[in-house]
A and B are shown apart, each in its own frame.
Chain A
Amino acid sequence: MSILGLFNHWAFVIIMMLGLYAIIARNNMIKKILGLALFQTGIFLMYITLGFKEGAASPILQHDPSTSYTNPLPQVLILTAIVVSLSTMAVALAIVIGIREEYDSIEADEVAHLDRQQREPGC
């Protein structure tokens, strides 16, 4: 198989790395969360690719017995993983709302700066 034949695999790795870059390089906590969402989406694409079969029907029983189907299991797994990802986003957003209430900022370096000031008053 040629390198370009693995298009989906290239795509999922690139999407994951974009997400990881956003988590590391962005200072804004909401953008970090978006990076995390992107990172997880890359993995979903990997699973969907696992179950994909060229020219196969969606996994709903057809009358023609010779039909070939795509594998439904990775799709079901990813449905679960999407729910997990959604819950992660919800918890993360709730925590960021809390940070905004307590620190009046959602920039990671500003928050860290405020914490340092609290520890060494007078600096």
Chain B
Amino acid sequence: MSESVVLRTIGGMLIPYILVYGLYVQMHGEIGPGGGFQAGVLVAAAFILHSLLFGPTGTMRLLPRWFIDLSMSLGVLLYIGTGVVCLLQGGYFLEYSVLDRTDPAAAEALGITLVEAGVGLTVASVILTIVRKVQGVSP
């Protein structure tokens, strides 16, 4: 936890921008450099900065353990779920184009967006869990 008022104020102001940048990388990943993994790391970085400035317990209150565990599972579920829906639609696992047979191109975009969202969610929560283990605040 940082004692310096300057660091805490400036750092606190930075956090929302890092989060928005993370979201930008997440959404942009489909057509340019970026994607779920990078975005997840950026979002996690925002919360790591928060825990450095305001102490790990403060971040723990913001994002409790159960919430992180849940989003870790939900991210992978989103990924698998997209694949399983493709299976149920009669395609192969992760064959996005069968999600919407009238417009396969839009279905491809939808599929990859969902999968990347799952990746981002899982990566962010896994990175936070690792950092918490090292900080020693996670049981």
* A contact residues vs B (CB 8 Å cutoff): 60, 79, 83, 90, 93-94, 97
Contacts and interface: CB of A to CB of B under 8 A. Distances in A.
A60 B133 contact: no
Nearest to A89: B130
Contacts of B6: none
B139 interface: no
Contacts of B32: 60
14 contacts: A60-B32, A60-B33, A79-B37, A83-B37, A90-B130, A90-B133, A93-B130, A93-B133, A93-B134, A94-B130, A94-B133, A97-B133, A97-B134, A97-B136
Interface of B: 32-33, 37, 130, 133-134, 136
* In the A-B complex, the 8 residue pairs with the closest CB atoms: A90-B130, A94-B133, A93-B134, A83-B37, A97-B133, A60-B32, A97-B134, A79-B37
Given A60-B32, A97-B134, 11 more contacts: A60-B33, A83-B37, A90-B130, A90-B133, A93-B130, A93-B133, A93-B134, A94-B130, A94-B133, A97-B133, A97-B136
A33 B14 CA distance: 32
